[in-house]
Amino acid sequence: MTFDVITIFPGFFSSLLEYGVLKRARAAGQASIRLHDLRDFTNDRHRTVDDRPFGGGPGMVFKPEPVFKAVAAVEAESPGRPSPVILLSPQGRLFTQGLAKELARQDHLTLICGRYEGVDERIAEHVATDEISIGDFVLSGGELPAALIMESVVRLLPGVLGNEESAWQESFTAPEAGPLEFGRALLDFPHYTRPADFRGWRVPEVLLSGNHEEIRRWRRQRALEKTWRRRPDLLAGFPLSEEDREWLGALQRDADVPRRELPAIISSLGEQKL
Ligand code: SAH
């Protein structure tokens, strides 16, 4: 998979490419990341990429010309099927594991990193095919969001993670869904390693029992419980088995939280007869 990143700070990405999954995927030829300095697509002596906003107000805005030129150059280098041109923006579609999986199906993505007050709206409207936000907060530039998206997409590419299983059984990924299917989500179950007793805190006995069925059930229950306590919104879209419903029903009965204080989503689950 190829990523073309358009940025005024190509150097920002150097450490990212030297570690972990991105380093390995690049070395193995599974991912290629091409960095384009937006200033290379300017015509003036000062290599100007920004200008003052029409209508007044503080800050500077990315001019359209350099960005349009940069995207055209990227597209000329990668002829073939049109591929997504993503503008990083706090106003975009919220990035999730599901969206990462959707993007991992592409063989080419172009990422445009904004700066300052943002970019001329015509970039969003006429050259970007998508706008993606990494969360409801504002950063100073699209470089961290682009890095984050590349990291989460590359680790989903077939063969990139040593053990293919490990991408499947994580938070936000239903184990029964293949690595490229939409994640219907549960949070991950807790993990433990040696020592079995650390400062008196013992690893749950069941994990030492060697009883695989018991371990499977324990993990499923912990994942359901964590999700129920921390991210009940995720349960709404999750296909619960009969056993899951029984367990959640028991949790709900034992909960010390008065029912009326439970998030609305749990109440609606309750109505479905847990
Ligand atoms: N004035 C803009 C924010 C500009 S922040 C607004 O309020 O919407 C400058 C740049 O940082 C943006 O153009 C975008 O590329 C990047 N950025 C900031 N926060 C982001 C977020 N949550 N997700 C993705 N990109 C973000």
Q: Is the CB of 141 under 6 A from ligand 1?
A: yes
Nearest CA to ligand 1 atom 11: 141
Q: Is the CB of 136 under 6 A from ligand 1?
A: no
Quickly state the pLDDT bin for 216 (edges 50, 70, 90). Answer: very high
Q: Is the CB of 27 under 6 A from ligand 1?
A: no
**What is the per-residue pLDDT for 167?**
65
**What is the per-residue pLDDT for 164?**
55
Ligand 1 atom closest to the CA of 133, numbered from 1: 23
Q: Is the CB of 137 under 6 A from ligand 1?
A: yes
Ligand 1 atom closest to the CA of 135, numbered from 1: 22
The segment with the largest mean pLDDT, out of 164-168, 185-189, 200-204, is: 200-204
**What is the per-residue pLDDT for 80?**
85
70 or 253, higher pLDDT: 70
Q: Which of 87-101, 108-122, 156-170, 207-221 is least confident?
A: 156-170
Q: Is the CB of 133 under 6 A from ligand 1?
A: yes
Average pLDDT over residues 114-138: 98
Average pLDDT over residues 191-210: 98
Cβ–Cβ < 8 Å for 92, 139: no
Nearest CA to ligand 1 atom 22: 90
137 or 271, higher pLDDT: 137
Distance 78 CA to ligand 1 centre (A): 27
For residue 17, pLDDT over 70 is answered with: yes
Ligand 1 pocket test: pick from 138, 149, 152 the residue with the most ligand atoms within 8 Å of its Cβ: 138
Indicate the pairing of strand 108-112 with strand 85-94: parallel
Average pLDDT over residues 217-225: 96
Distance 251 CA to ligand 1 centre (A): 40
Average pLDDT over residues 77-89: 93
**What is the per-residue pLDDT for 263?**
52
Quickly state the pLDDT bin for 184 (edges 50, 70, 90). Answer: low
For residue 258, pLDDT over 70 is answered with: no
| Burial status of residue 5 (CB atoms within 10 A of its CB: 0-12, 13-18, 19 or more) | buried
Average pLDDT over residues 243-270: 71
Q: Is the CB of 115 under 6 A from ligand 1?
A: yes
**What is the per-residue pLDDT for 274?**
40
Quickly state the pLDDT bin for 200 (edges 50, 70, 90). Answer: very high
Can you read off the two tokens belonging to residue 218?
């324990």
Q: What percent of the chain has pLDDT over 90?
A: 79
For residue 133, pLDDT over 80 is answered with: yes
Average pLDDT over residues 174-187: 56
pTM value is 0.87
For residue 73, pLDDT over 80 is answered with: yes
Quickly state the pLDDT bin for 175 (edges 50, 70, 90). Answer: low
Average pLDDT of the chain to the nearest whole number:
90
Nearest CA to ligand 1 atom 1: 117
